[in-house]
Amino acid sequence: MSRAATFTMVRRSLWRSERFARLHGDRERLLYLYLLTCAHITSCGVYRLPDGYACADLGWKLDDYVAARDRVKAVGLIQHDPETEEIAIDRYLHACPPANPKHAQGVRNMIYGIESDKLREAAEEAFAEVWTAAPAEGGSRLTQTGYFNGRDR
């Protein structure tokens, strides 16, 4: 899981999200945006992030970071496994599905590398939801995304 994603799509609908709105303040919102866009994120949306790395990146004290992370987790925007120090962005693959078979294989390989059983199983399930059989000859993978088939509206 060492290969970070080069970019991440952030949906404009985030600002209307019920879960995002339940965050108590700017610090929690900033943390979620950091977790979604930091240099550590991978194409499967699950990555290892020791507390010290996040604190250094954000310039925060550990207690402040942990409190904000716990709140972001409590509203269902992330999952966190303290044993493996991994973060999983909820519904990441629904927002950023693989674009082609080669990309899908790379995402699948990253999922295999997730240490946390709980987070790996959740990522495998999400991958199965967004990556279905290859499109018909000349078809587009775009039509198989959650947005186009009505799951993410």
Residue at 142 is within a domain: no
Residues 6+ apart with CB under 8 A from 90: 76, 77, 78, 79
Residue 1: the pLDDT is: 46
Distance of CA 85 to the CA centre of its chain: 15
What's the chain's Rg over C-alpha atoms?
16
Residue 18: the pLDDT is: 86
Split at pLDDT 50, 70, 90, the class of 144 is low
Write down the pTM of the prediction: 0.80
For the segment 84-109, the average pLDDT, to the nearest whole number, is 93
Q: Is 86 exposed, middle or buried (0-12, 13-18, 19+ CB in 10 A)?
A: buried
**In terms of residue numbers, what domain contains 114?**
1-131
State the amino acid at position 49 in one-letter form.
L
Residue 102: the pLDDT is: 92
Residue at 144 is within a domain: no
Residue at 137 is within a domain: no
- pLDDT > 70? residue 135: no
Residue at 96 is within a domain: yes
More confident residue, 140 or 82: 82
Residue at 85 is within a domain: yes
Pick the closest to residue 73 from 58, 56, 87, 84 (CA basis): 87
Q: How many independent structural domains does the chain possess?
A: 1
DSSP H helices, the chain, are: 18-21, 26-37, 51-58, 62-74, 92-95, 101-112, 117-130
Residue 146: the pLDDT is: 59
For the segment 135-146, the average pLDDT, to the nearest whole number, is 56
Residue at 139 is within a domain: no
Residue at 52 is within a domain: yes
pLDDT tens, residue by residue, 46-96 = 999 999 999 999 999 999 999 999 999 999 999 999 999 999 999 999 888
Residue 143: the pLDDT is: 58
**Are 44 and 107 contacting, i.e. CB atoms less than 8 angstroms apart?**
yes
Residue 109: the pLDDT is: 95
Residue at 81 is within a domain: yes
Pick the closest to residue 66 from 81, 53, 55, 78 (CA basis): 55
- Which H, E and C letters describe 91-132, residue by residue? CHHHHCCCCCHHHHHHHHHHHHCCCCHHHHHHHHHHHHHHCC
